[in-house]
Every structure is written in structure tokens, then in C-alpha cells.
Amino acid sequence: MAEWNRKDLLGIEELSAAEIETILDLASSCKQIYSRQIKKLPTLRGKTVILLFFEPSTRTRTSFEIASKWMSADLINISVAQSSVVKGESLYDTAHTIEAMGPDLVVVRHRAAGVPQALAQRLGCSVINAGDGAHEHPTQALLDLYTIQERLGRIRGLNVLLVGDILHSRVARSQIYGLQKMGASVTVLGPSTLLPKGIESFGVKIGKSLDEELPKADVVSLLRIQKERQQSGLFPSLDEYALLYGIGEERLGLIRDDALIIHPGPTNLGVEISLAATEDKRSAINQQVTNGVAVRMAALYLLLGGGGLERHEIAL
Amino acid sequence: MAEKVKIMDETGIRRALVRIAHEILEQNRGVEGLVIVGIHRRGVPLAKRLAEAISQIEGVEVPVGTLDINLYRDDLSTIGYHPIVRKTEIPVDVSERTVVLVDDVLYTGRTVRAALDALMDLGRPKAIQLAVLVDRGHRELPIRADYVGKNLPTAKREIISVKIAEIDGKEEVVINEG
């Protein structure tokens, strides 16, 4: 029996190492479908999944779509531009409406932290957090963990260097929780204005310079400079950021041969990463996208597959 | 649990598998186009042993694979727990081959139904046959085994426990009075 007893997948913070392992093991079984001619499993037949994205997304949304379809769930895509949210509908009106349609699971992305949690409390169906503000993005961190394990054979004991905008990054937060639970040690590095105050309390080390930290890293995890979240003045310019924190061709030489470079995408080429670095043999960026489907299949299976969970009463 | 009755021991299981190996060869007139596929979990070691027995008799290797049926179950939304999904690994294309499915116990037939669906998604086998160590009756679907180690008429309340060395550390088939 697999270790899982949750209605929702809201963050990595609340997961145990055993639960994370359950997802990773399951993802590796789900990945077998990739090599099949007919990519269709009957597992979630008759289940309805709603994708509710209040923020743009390509990778996450597409991979949830593929994962749902490969497992035969019915899928409805609600993107904000087309929905009544632009007419001023409140989040709870939207939630109410969705509940009335009777889905089995809602995948939600929102610019505000805490929205998936609020929906999970109010909806009887399962909720997956596909990114909430700067809080968490659990399925991204899970696919990163999966990719690290697949490429390096383990997570425990690895030195992982997180570079960039830790302050605004939900990916970084989820990665830190996940990596530490799985026994890796994490060093963060970025402009001091982009490191959250009190980041040490997460149990991470703060790196001094990229040139000093790169040779020590087993995994270099680059974060996207989020131009859309950038208030002015947190760092002088993109050029200076690239100079201090970007992985260009010369810095590739500082990264060990057996190390791994990951990036959640989309990349700002020439800022946090160069084209050469994305195409380097140590880069797992495309593999991350590929693994995203398997990890999301695993999450859907765990949330929708077992029916013994007590469904919450609707409390709207 | 009031009573335990041992139905088969190590020797009994070995003899049954050797007999089934002979029957498979007889039925299929050799090993041409055969692939033996064990259903997780206890079907897997049984399939390996059947393949070994066949290759000892015929002097030819038979491909062996494993099949996980959990993504094909019809009771996922009612069982109340998450079965562990293991790997499906069949070293050859099942299309145009005769697949011998192997499981430890045949009961309601639902596992076999799921296994048939799982196999069909991998290709179009020429034929699928079923070998089980124990057939305990109480079918809920029109499914039957081609090769049976032991027919064991049971009451529904009885529990058949098959132990296989590779998984359980010992070899036996036992009926527990439920």
C-alpha cells in the first residue's frame, strides 16, 4: 500500500519524505507510458479535472493536460481571460460555480499565496496547487527531485546550489523543502535584495559567490528572473545580474562534469543562463519538462485513485 | 483465524509448475512465439520459474516479462487505499505472440480482466493464455484458466494464502478459515 492519505496537494512543506518517495516511485512507473504507441490508461475514466489558471503557464498547464488525458480523465480548461473573473466575479463565486459542476479535482494557479489552500478548504473535491504567488509550486519541485534522482541516482547527501531570485520564487521555496526532506543540503545565492529576510531559518547556507560555489555543487538549480514580479531597484540591471549570477560559457567550466543544471523554465537566455548552458550535456532542462507529465500523472493517481478518503463537506 | 490447512508445500508447488510447463509446451507445440508474463507481485517469480522449467525441458530460452495492472483496476475509487504501481517490463513486442499470463490465485477474475486490458494496450497478441497456481472459484467474470496448479473449491470466507520464496521467504499454499 502506498504512503498517501491526502485530499489535496498544496505544498511540499506539509509532505513527509515517505510521501515524496511515494510520488517519485509512482512517477517512474507512470513514465513507462512514454514509450508506448498508445498512450492511454483507463485509470481515471469518469473523473473530471478542471484546470483553473489565473496566471499564464505553458509547461505546467500543458503537462497537467497531457497527464489527465493519458489517464482518461475529462479535462476542462478555465483560463482567466475567457472566464467571468474579468467581469468581476470573486474567487469564491468562481469556486462556488466550479463546485456546482461537480469536478473531482481542481488544479489552480494564482498570483496570490494561499488561494489553493482557501479553495481546498471550501471545495469537496481535491485541489492541486500549480503555483500560488511566491509561496509554493509543489509539482515543479517534485519533478525537479524526480529528475535529480533519475540523473544522479540519489538525492540524499547532494549539495544543491539555488541561484537567483529566491525572494519571489515559489519554485525555490518548494525545492528547499523537498530537497531538505530528501536529505540534500541546500545553498542559496543571489543578490541580497532577492534573498528573503531570515532565509537562514530554513536551514540553508548562503553562498558568497558563484565562482566559489559552483565547483562544490552536485546540482545547480537556476531560477528565472521574474521580470513580471520585479519591482524596480532590486538589482541594478539585467546585464549586471548576468555578470554576477548568470551561467555563461566561462562559468560552465566551473561546474563539475558529473553535476546537473536544472531550470524550471521559461529561461531568460543571456540573463540567468546562456544558450550554451541550456544545451550543455549537464543540463536537464528538457528532461524536466518531460518528467513533468509523469510526476503529474502520479499526483492525479494519488489524489483521484483511492476513493476511501473522506470527502470534505461543501462549506461555501 | 481458527484453522489452517496446508494445501501445497515446496515440492507440491514445484511439481505443479513443472506440469504446467509441460502443458504449455504441449498446448503450443513448442516455444515458438511464446512469452511468459507474470502479474505483480507473486505472478512474477512464478513466471520466471515456469520459463526456467520450459527452458530446461526444451533447451530454449523463453522471454519473461512483468505486468502491473493497478492502473487498469475497476475498483480504484472504492478500495480506499493506493496500491503500489510497479513496472510493466516485457522484453519483446507482444504483437503476434502467444502470451502466457501467470498469477498465483484466480478468484473473481477481475485482476485477469485488468491484465487483459493492460496487455491489449501494449499490442495485439496472437493469443493470451492464463496459468495460475491456485483456482479457488467464485468468478465474477467469464474468465477461466488454461493451466491450473490446483483446483481448490473454497468458501468465500476462507482466505487463500500463497507464499513464494522470492517474496515471502517460504513456499506454501494455505487455507485460513476466515
pLDDT at A219: 98
The whole-number average pLDDT for the span B59-67 is 97
Q: Does B68 touch chain A (CB under 8 A)?
A: yes
Question: Looking at chain A, which residue has its C-alpha nearest residue B83?
Answer: A1
**pLDDT above 90 (res A86):** no
Domains of chain A: 17-135+289-305 (3.40.50.1370), 138-288 (3.40.50.1370)
Please name the residue ranges forming H helices in chain A. 17-30, 59-70, 91-101, 115-122, 138-152, 170-181, 210-213, 238-245, 249-252, 275-279, 285-304
Residues A101, A205: Cα–Cα separation, whole Å: 47
Within 8 A of B77 by CB-CB distance, chain A residues are 304-307
Q: Does B92 touch chain A (CB under 8 A)?
A: no
What ipTM did this prediction achieve?
0.80
Within 8 A of A29 by CB-CB distance, chain B residues are 68, 85-88
Would you say domain B11-157 falls under CATH 3.40.50.300? no
What does the pLDDT look like over A32-83, one tens digit per residue? Answer: 999 888 899 999 999 999 999 998 898 999 999 999 999 999 999 987 766 6
pLDDT at A311: 36
Residues A257, A275: Cα–Cα separation, whole Å: 18
Rg (CA), chain A: 19
The domain limits of chain B are 11-157
What does the pLDDT look like over A91-105, one tens digit per residue? Answer: 878 888 888 889 999
- pTM, full prediction: 0.89
CB atoms A42 and B72 under 8 Å: yes
What does the pLDDT look like over A218-265, one tens digit per residue? Answer: 999 999 987 766 666 788 888 889 999 999 988 999 999 999 999 999
Question: What cell does A134 get?
Answer: 511566491
